[in-house]
Amino acid sequence: MATLRIETSVNRENSVTRQLTDRIIATLGDSDVVTRDIASEPLPLIDSTWASARVKPAEERTELDQEALALSDALVAEVQAADTIVISAPIYNFTIPASLKAWIDLIARVGVTFRYTEDGPQGLLEGKRVIVAFASGGTGIDSAADFASGYLRFVLGFLGITDVTFVAADQLAVDPEGTIARAHAQIDALRDAA
């Protein structure tokens, strides 16, 4: 089984989501883990060159178009090769980090990871499992102030990934020890369910 780990926390040493993803990866026991730390190595934002290149047929793409899509192609290949994707999602100002949005923008490719049909959009990344390590200081998961978890469920579903589990260490500022203990129990449940 192949696992893709997406790290997005700007905190390197004291990150709750990084600690949770460590524990999730250890619990899964997969030896084939690819890590993409997009907080340490930021991704570029999509631009007009990228947007133009992605809609051209492959045989019509110029060298500049191919260069514009090269990183996106590599990110998509990582997702396609993964059976499980573990995503860290610290909550910054009620939503996901900009780095995670940049990753989503680069992997959401019409004709590659989703397509439009007469019956509506169809995701092309079916059969994958996503585990999201969600952490916040005060935002409760699925609360009115949480603009992250619903978005992630929606966009992953749009891409065809419906097996999405959240490990929530939310409201750390209120009850840090209890919150971490509950998150660890959620991770233990992942192992027990396997």
Assess contact for 50 and 69: CB atoms under 8 A. yes
Q: What is the CATH number of the domain that holds 32?
A: 3.40.50.360
- CB contact set of 59 (below 8 Å; sequence gap of 6+): none
Predicted confidence at residue 180, as pLDDT, reads 97
Predicted confidence at residue 194, as pLDDT, reads 61
Predicted confidence at residue 47, as pLDDT, reads 96
- Euclidean distance between CA atoms 20 and 95, whole angstroms: 18
Predicted confidence at residue 133, as pLDDT, reads 98
Please give the residue range of the domain that contains residue 176: 2-193
The secondary structure element, H or E, covering residue 117 is: strand 114-117
Predicted confidence at residue 31, as pLDDT, reads 73
How many domains does the chain divide into? 1
pLDDT lower than 70: segments of the chain = 193-194
Long-range contacts, stretch 167-170, CB < 8 angstroms, 24+ apart: 167/20, 167/24, 167/131, 167/132, 167/133, 167/134, 168/134, 168/135, 168/141, 169/16, 169/17, 169/20, 169/133, 169/134, 169/135, 169/136, 170/91, 170/134, 170/135, 170/136, 170/139, 170/140, 170/141, 170/146
Predicted confidence at residue 29, as pLDDT, reads 87
Reduced to 3 states, what is the DSSP secondary structure of residue 95?
Answer: strand
Of 191, 13, 161, the closest CA to residue 87 belongs to: 161
Binding residues for FMN: 9
pTM higher than 0.75: yes
Cβ burial of 59 (10 Å; 0-12, 13-18, 19+) is exposed
Binding residues: 9
- Euclidean distance between CA atoms 89 and 146, whole angstroms: 12
- Euclidean distance between CA atoms 6 and 35, whole angstroms: 6
Predicted confidence at residue 12, as pLDDT, reads 86
Residue pointed to by tokens 């019509």: 60
